[in-house]
Amino acid sequence: MNESLDPNRLPTATLVLGGIRSGKSAFAERLIEAAGDGLYIATAEINDDEMAERVRRHQERRGDTWTTVEAPIKLIEAIREADRPVLVDCVTLWLSNLIYAQADVAREVKALGALLIDPPRPVVVVSNEVGLGGISSNELQRSFADLQGATNQILAEAARRVVLISAGLPLVLKDTTHT
């Protein structure tokens, strides 16, 4: 394993970025598992059979060793209340939930960024990287991609470590755990 990804040196906040099915969730799970018992904060809301199957596969891969807290909207509170290292999966679904709930998305994202500067426990946050694909012809999709990209930039600025996952392989983009 890359020395900067040594799980014994889990920084206060790690952002794991990647595309759909890139392996980002499994990678983030391994980081937390190596550090001890983890708290899995799930942001998904199950609204159809396909999402139910995705959630089932994630749960099966994790096994029974994780404690799961569902926080589709109240993510910041769930992180603050955590009593062990935290995995947040994922920011993209959380953003969608905030929009649907007509929440103040900008305020929530800024609050999450501020929390990641000095969280109460180590936090690994998973988020989709949307900046590598083409520009959609759909206005709503373009708007969401802009929001996701801006959110990722705020979280990357706050995080001590940022890792991009592609084809299951990690590339460290930022690591300030040495400074």
Answer yes or no: 178 catalytic: no
Per the structure, how many domains does the chain have? 1
> Do the domain assignments include residue 5?
no
User: What distance in Å separates the CA atoms of residue 15 and residue 139, rounded to the nearest whole number?
Assistant: 27
> Do the domain assignments include residue 62?
yes
Residue 64 neighbours by CB under 8 Å, 6+ apart: none
pLDDT at 124: 98
> Do the domain assignments include residue 4?
no
* Paired strand residues for 69: 41
pTM, whole model, 2 decimals? 0.90
> Do the domain assignments include residue 55?
yes
> Which ranges of the chain would DSSP assign to H, the alpha helix?
24-35, 49-62, 75-81, 91-100, 105-117, 139-158
Residue in 22, 29, 58, 127 annotated catalytic: 58
> Do the domain assignments include residue 127?
yes
* Local mean pLDDT, 10-residue blocks, the chain (179 residues): 59 95 93 89 84 75 82 97 95 96 97 97 96 83 94 98 96 87
* Paired strand residues for 89: 42, 126
Domain extent at residue 98: 10-174
> Do the domain assignments include residue 169?
yes
User: What distance in Å separates the CA atoms of residue 91 and residue 45, rounded to the nearest whole number?
Assistant: 13
> Do the domain assignments include residue 69?
yes
Residue 141 is part of a domain; what is its CATH number? 3.40.50.300
Residue 168 neighbours by CB under 8 Å, 6+ apart: 22, 23, 26, 27
> Do the domain assignments include residue 33?
yes
